[in-house]
Structure 1
Amino acid sequence: MFQNVSNDSVLGDVQLQDQHVKILHIEDSVADQALARLSLKRGPLSCTLTAVDTLPAIEDALQKQTFDLILADYYLPGFTALDVWELVRTRADAPPFVLLSGAIGESAAVDIMRLGISDYLLKDQISSLPHVIQRAMEVHEARLARRRAMQELAQSEKRLAELTEHLHTSIEQERANISREIHDDIGGSLTAVKFDLAWMSRNSPEGALREHAQSALAMLEHALGASQRIMQNLRPPVLDQGLVAAVQWLTQDFERRTGIPAQLHTSREHMEIAPAQQVAVYRTAQESLTNISKYAQASRVTLDLSDHEGFLTLEVTDNGVGLAPEAREKTQSFGLRGLSERARTVNGWLDVSSHPGRGTSIILTIPLTDTDT
């Protein structure tokens, strides 16, 4: 059975503050129920107590009402406060839980509190009950606020990750479109002009006209080479031949441009990898090699690409000067941060291992759970 004590009761609420607390009081002693109500009446909080003394009555009360706090004796006929705690601790709206008992030692109460119970109070100290309840409520509100803040932070991080993924996808698509336009429009026009200049150079008489034609032809060759490099950087056509071929081309191009020996090791010659994962690996290799050429002062570079045990892994290692820890935290250092964010867009992660004077190793790992995406 349970018994509501309302404002109409002699032992009802006393409005000392605007806050009103609904308490489920689990106690089989009528005298102890009255003492608890009297103690709370003298406190600063306005309270309504619902007294219950059996497990069925507790379950019924919890189904019918929402309580701000549970106040429970430890030993009751046929059950203990731990049985009640098991009923409420997994509830999403679980209120703070306070023990008010005269039959439990302090060490045992501390052990119980480790289970998640908010606080405890001996019955011979019942005059402190209003303070204990107020403190339990404040701690509970602080926990709820922290939980809400963490949920909001998680939602914010999720939205940021979705935005990052959208940006990366949009950028890659725009790169592909620009590369295609350069190839189809600008490249085609420059090639046509090249044929015309070559004809003019062949059919012009010796003199200034032929010299100008040949000079224009040389400049045009330079423009064609520049457009090819821009297209390769935007979206290399070699990606259409597969990830291994693309990274192999990137390695050879790096060695040709910088003169630094670079070697690629792969677990197989061809890998069936989703397009988004291919782009993430390719851009990671590209950015890593760019950083090496700018800062590492390396004399040797090694790339390892494998797809063992359900994970796609790229490791780029150099023997350069290494990366100082403070260099990773620079406010304008977006290279590694960008690679980390790109890895997250394909559910992967980036690890950086570096020691000053002993080189740097950048490892990208992507789970191959859905290569058809």
Structure 2
Amino acid sequence: MRLLLVEDNEEDAELLLRELRRASFYPEWSRVDTEEDFLKALHKGPDIILCDYSMPRFSGLRALKLLRESGLEIPFILISGAVGEDVAVEAMRDGATDYLLKDRIARVGAAVSRALTLTQLRAERNRAEEELRAKVEMLNHANLEREQLIDRLKRTLSEKTVLLKEVHHRVKNNMAVIAALLGMQSKHLDNDQARMALAESKQRVLSMASIHEHLYATERLDRVNFGEYVKQLANDLFASYSTASELVSFGVEAEAIELPVDRAIPCGLILNELISNALKYAFADGRTGTIKVCFGRLESGGLSLSCRDDGIGLPENLEWKSPHSLGFKIISILTKQIDGNLMLDRSEPGTRFELTFPEG
């Protein structure tokens, strides 16, 4: 601690220093008793000032005024043999941190400790206020620039977020048109196999369109709440296979986990193929049963997306890892695209596929 003593009496100064040492303060100190020396000492940056109220060539109130005019935030404690209430009030009003009577000089340690603490708190508050003012100024400046940017972009589409939402909205609409065209085309075909192929392609397009629908409906334009998407996709597929839905019950357990678009679209297409295959083939000849879809985090890390049915199961001789069907080819390609791993579980009746992949 750097202490400035404004005191003309050496014995009083030594008394103050002794009391400070008793309070565990061991300051670097200097003593002045004139206005000229006081001003010079101020520029050396003391941490605290202890000032006698009345001296032959200087006064405590004059020292306090000079300190205030300097603009320095240094705690100032006024000390006097007999400070009246009016003088004490005037000193505190003019910026003194505290005042002490010389007959209570033993309290100087506590007064110094309190003054330094208050000064530190005041400095922290001022620093916080300054930072807040700077941030407010930056925010005002940013808001002004943002308003100017919005004004410029109104002649095109709007600022960046609105533009991206519009892109996703248009992509979704275009995919819906493609799906509608595929549906219309299928109605003009006599070949059942070709008609089914178009219907499957239509559903794949709609599963991708649904991703973009989720994107423009939320504030996050680069990520999708895949848990919500899984539920919607499963319900849409279940409704589209009306005959199967009368015989098959459906369950979805999906955590609300966000995926980036480059993960969400492949995962959505894979799930579309798995659910569609289960609805088309697992419950042939009027069989009843259950399909369950699960999505969540693994304890070991990564994510898991599974589709299980208790239907007739896959043929034992089916080489699903080297598939000839378009659906399994799509699944294989997309699994590699997201660095995933697809596993088939035949341990229970029916079929269970589980896709595991890193989160992002």
With the length of structure 2 as denominator, give the TM-score of the two structures: 0.42
With the length of structure 1 as denominator, give the TM-score of the two structures: 0.41
